[in-house]
């Protein structure tokens, strides 16, 4: 008969621990979201964002005045940005102000993307070096921030906005930010 060793219990315990983490992760309300240190704080400055071609330029005043707005980081080389683009156009068509910040991209490629896909943005800026994105806490593109009328970030969504995400998260967050 084989002698029992405490090390023999290690694999089943490790499996049980990993299975528990997996089950916990699958039952989270919004598994796509990472915490944002910027929520509830003033939107960082966009003064270093440059104008993209002859499109309407972004300014810090735009973030701090008016109604609720979305700030969307995107790039022409980003496949998920293409997937979410129709939802941004739909939101803009419903009267939501959407500002775009093109991330680490070449101007001609970014302008070509907007020419091909349409331009849902009220104003657009370019952050080719990515410095402004660091101040916003960007994880990657696409990433969208809800900014209230006072210029505070109230919500951040990392990843492409699908129709389901737009209805379940983005629109309710826009409504919450308007109150």
36 within domain boundaries = no
pLDDT of residue 17: 61
DSSP alpha helices (H): ranges in 94-170? 107-117, 131-136, 163-165
34 within domain boundaries = no
Please say if the pLDDT value at position 10 is more than 50: yes
pLDDT tens sequence across 14-69: 666 665 555 544 444 454 455 566 788 999 999 999 999 999 999 999 999 889 99
Mean pLDDT of the chain: 88
Q: Is 35 helix (H, G, I), strand (E, B) or coil?
A: coil
31 within domain boundaries = no
Distance CA 95, CA 97 (A): 6
18 within domain boundaries = no
166 within domain boundaries = yes
Closest CA to 159 of 174, 175, 145: 145
DSSP alpha helices (H): ranges in the chain? 10-26, 60-64, 79-93, 107-117, 131-136, 163-165, 171-178
pLDDT of residue 27: 44
pLDDT of residue 39: 80
- Asked if the peptide bond before residue 142 counts as cis, ω within 30 degrees of 0, the response is yes
Residue range(s) defining the domain that contains residue 99: 41-178
CATH number of the domain enclosing 52: 3.40.30.10
127 within domain boundaries = yes
91 within domain boundaries = yes
pTM: 0.80
1 within domain boundaries = no
Three-class secondary structure assignment of 57-94: CCCHHHHHCCCCEEEEEECCCCHHHHHHHHHHHHHHHC
The number of domains in the chain is 1
């Amino acid at each position: 008969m084989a002698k029992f060793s405490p090390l023999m219990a290690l694999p089943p315990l490790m499996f049980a621990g990993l299975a528990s983490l997996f089950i916990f992760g699958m039952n989270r309300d919004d598994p796509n979201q990472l915490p944002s240190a910027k929520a509830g704080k003033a939107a960082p400055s966009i003064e270093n964002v440059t104008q993209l071609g002859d499109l309407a330029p972004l300014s810090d005043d735009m973030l701090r005045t008016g109604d609720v707005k979305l700030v969307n980081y995107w790039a022409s080389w980003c496949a998920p940005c293409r997937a979410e683009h129709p939802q941004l156009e739909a939101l803009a068509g419903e009267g939501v102000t959407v500002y775009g910040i093109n991330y680490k991209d070449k101007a001609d490629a970014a302008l070509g993307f907007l020419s091909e896909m349409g331009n849902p943005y009220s104003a657009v800026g370019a952050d080719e070096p990515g410095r402004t994105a660091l101040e916003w806490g960007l994880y990657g593109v696409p990433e969208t921030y809800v900014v209230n009328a006072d210029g505070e970030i109230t919500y951040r969504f990392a990843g492409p906005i699908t129709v389901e995400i737009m209805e379940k998260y983005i629109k309710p967050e826009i409504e919450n930010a308007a109150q």
